[in-house]
Structure 1
Amino acid sequence: MNKVHFVGAGPGDKELITLKGYKLLSDADVVIYAGSLVNPELLEYCKEGCEIHNSAHMDLQEIIEVMEKGIKENKSVVRLQTGDFSIYGSIREQVEDLHKLEIGYDCTPGVSSFLGAASSLGVEYTVPEISQSVIITRMEGRTPVPSKESIESYAAHQTSMAIFLSVQDIQKVVERLNEGGYPMNTPIAVVYKATWADEKIVKGTLEDIAVKVKENGITKTALILVGQFLGKEYNNSKLYDKDFKHEYRS
């Protein structure tokens, strides 16, 4: 029996899907894609006659029914998810229902938007002696967040942070980052639709970012990146230091 193929679509740019993901997508008989979160240009890779469904208009049961029908008809089924489905991809609930139906699946990872955003900014999250960790999180909304994973508790580390699904409350995010430990002069960037043709980047500090985001009309589909990795201070790595010896360079 065929499997359902979960494929990470990448952050937006149609060329940032993996080669394996592209092959699965171009060979698919049925594609269920994650609505406005996936660049519709990716659907240009689908073959003629491919049955395409926009999951923005579907609930979980409807998605599973399309998958089950496709598999029973011995068709190749692709679930095309935004970025990489391991981050806020809602894959678990789909997989659990497939298990109940004894339908197999496999997963092809994609490039997450937090990686696409860093590339657009030309930065790295891990700068020697500045930041060696990245926190990926979101602020609670209609979906709760465990109390021990609050923005304030993570801000106490003052490391690099990528905050998803929260730009609509940017002022509240700023307040909580500051309460947790980031000083108001901490650099911050908001990247709207990273790697898409209409990408927009807004830079500032905790002091002024909320005003700048409002002026630019950004209310959704944006990442908030905060931390000193965005600042001017940096240190060279040991890896390419001429005096640093290792097994490949003496």
Structure 2
Amino acid sequence: MRPVVHVVGGGPGDPELLTVKGARLLQKARLVLFTGSLFPEAVLGELAPKAILRDSKGMVLEEIVALLAEEAQRGPGVVRLHSGDPGLYGTLLEEKEALEGLGVEVEVVPGVTAAFALAARAGLALTAPEVAQAVAFTRLGVRTPMPPGQDPKALARPGLTLAVYLSGMHPKRLARDLQEAGLPADTPVLFGHRVGQAGEEVGLTDLSGLAHLPARDTTVFLVGEALRARGVRSRLYDPDFRHRYRR
């Protein structure tokens, strides 16, 4: 049997937002490698009571891969815990490629990303019938550049909901860029700081108010008209709309 590392999406930090599979793997884990700057170790102690907990925030990729591969060779129960979902703004691809190159199988377990947790916390939707039917995940290019045409300013347009990550230290720049792209100053903005963790703060403002928010890490922004959509109705449950399940 090939050695296996389970890459688990830990969600935004609230243990009740873990998937059942993720929680089961943590309960059985022998080693959990996690990022302490993003996931509270105190919570992990309860979720993975049998595991050795290792914080990866001071490690480089080669050290992470070497540790995971070595422990996986010793036996099952090795978990690489990512915050949110492993496939969004994480290191899934590089870790998976390196581990597979060493003969280690990688199984990925998805997690709840912060944008979804934030919308749920506020009781709002990212899409609304005939208002917004598209969502784009993006970030500001700060220490690492963005590919051309993929930053918030390039993507901003009416009817598109933006989920902006890794930009909490630059709310004024984000507000300026989006207004320069043509979004009105009263475009709704939902912000969430440390969503699902101690010290959580969630609030609704607009682009003019966004410029005055404090600069804080671990903040995600949702921007778009879907956030204030009211009186909308999906055709799916309209009595005049026919589909294969209701004729």
TM-score after normalising by structure 2: 0.94
Counterpart for residue 202 of structure 1: 203
* Local SS of the residue matching 2:189: strand
Structure (1/2) with the larger helix percentage? 1
* Local SS of the residue matching 2:37: helix
State the Cα distance separating 1:244 from its structure 2 match: 2.4
Q: Give the aligned residue type for 1:152.
A: K
Deviations, residues 142-181 of structure 1 (Å, cap 9, x unaligned): 1110122132220135411100000211111011101112
Deviations, residues 118-163 of structure 1 (Å, cap 9, x unaligned): 1011111110111000010000011110122132220135411100
1:240 is aligned to 2:242: no
Contact map agreement 1:84 1:111 (CA 8 A) in 2: yes
Contact map agreement 2:176 2:211 (CA 8 A) in 1: no
Counterpart for residue 47 of structure 2: 45
Counterpart for residue 165 of structure 1: 166
Q: Give the aligned residue type for 1:160.
A: T
Contact map agreement 2:4 2:76 (CA 8 A) in 1: no
CA distance in 2 between counterparts of 1:249 and 1:68 reads 52
TM-score after normalising by structure 1: 0.92
Counterpart for residue 190 of structure 1: 191
Counterpart for residue 31 of structure 1: 32
1:99 is aligned to 2:100: yes
Q: Give the aligned residue type for 1:231.
A: R
Matched residues, number: 245
* Local SS of the residue matching 1:185: coil
Q: How does 1:80-229 map to 2 (within 5 A)?
A: 80-211=81-212, 213-214=213-214, 218-229=215-226
* Local SS of the residue matching 1:249: coil
- 149-158 or 92-101, which deviates more: 149-158
State the Cα distance separating 1:103 from its structure 2 match: 1.3
Contact map agreement 1:14 1:39 (CA 8 A) in 2: no
Q: Give the aligned residue type for 1:195.
A: G
- 70-79 or 177-186, which deviates more: 70-79
Counterpart for residue 22 of structure 1: 23
What is the root-mean-square deviation in Å for CA atoms of aligned residues? 1.5
Q: Give the aligned residue type for 1:227.
A: G
For structure 2, the residue ranges without an aligned partner over 5 or more in a row are: none
Q: Give the aligned residue type for 1:230.
A: L
Change (3 A) 1:234 1:188: farther
Contact map agreement 2:131 2:229 (CA 8 A) in 1: no
Q: Give the aligned residue type for 2:45.
A: L
CA distance in 2 between counterparts of 1:43 and 1:86 reads 24
- 128-137 or 27-36, which deviates more: 27-36
1:231 is aligned to 2:232: no
State the Cα distance separating 1:66 from its structure 2 match: 1.1
For structure 1, the residue ranges without an aligned partner over 5 or more in a row are: none
CA distance in 1 between counterparts of 2:54 and 2:190 reads 34
